[in-house]
Amino acid sequence: MAIKSIGVFCGSSIGAKEVYSQAAVELGSLMVSNGIELIYGGGKVGLMGVIADTILASGGSVVGVIPKLLLEKEVGHDAVTEMKIVSSMSERKNLIGELSAAFIAMPGGFGTLDEVMEVLTYFQLGISEKPVGFLNVNGFYDPLIAMFDRILEERFMKYEHRHNVIFRDNPKDLLEAIQAFKPLAVDEKWIQELKERKTY
């Protein structure tokens, strides 16, 4: 799969360990060398700033999408290739979803989880076929992997949906997995049953 843009969700903090920033630098460098544009939340702080600065310093393209409120609080990156200003957090997520050919969640907090879970839900419902990957730096997402496995075990998720989520420990492996991604097919009857029952 020829991926030309990736929506990266990540923390507005750099986290407790240097390894998180190192992974952001590595991912940014790999994106530039593969001709992949960064679509992200438009911030200049935390891991958001690290990956944006890395890509910009290497001559890559960075598109920020930021709500006006956050821009006014002076957390917007003033050197991105293009900054799109939106009115709300929901509008930000929608636009990042439209502009991105795939998604990566780096370590982060509530916002990161909110953003990546929304694109995963769209994939599950058949609204999107864009690959979704987690950069599991330093085992950060190990508890989430266990939670997904528990959801599958308790039959709140189909096998195909669980195994369409990509987890890798380093940027190189994750990017390769996203580019090679071929989703496991899910019987369309499942989606139709949900629509008829209106349970989602």
Residuewise pLDDT in 10s, the chain (200 residues) = 689 999 999 999 999 999 999 999 999 999 999 999 999 999 999 999 999 999 999 999 999 999 998 887 768 999 999 999 999 999 999 999 999 999 999 999 999 999 999 999 999 888 999 999 999 999 999 999 999 999 999 999 888 889 899 999 999 999 999 999 998 877 666 556 655 655 43
Rg (CA), the chain: 17
Handedness of CA 24, 28, 31, 37 (dihedral sign): positive
Q: Interior CA angle at 96 toward 126 and 177, to 5°?
A: 65
For residue 145 the two structure tokens come to 């992997």
The domain defined by 5-197 folds into Rossmann fold (3.40.50)
Helix, strand, or coil here: 83?
Answer: strand
Q: Backbone dihedral region of 9: left (phi > 0), alpha (psi from -120 to 50 degrees) or beta?
A: beta
DSSP 5-49: EEEEE--SS--SSHHHHHHHHHHHHHHHHTTPEEEE--BSSHHHH
Domain ranges of the chain: 5-197
Taking alpha carbons only, the member of 115, 89, 102, 88 closest to residue 9 is 115
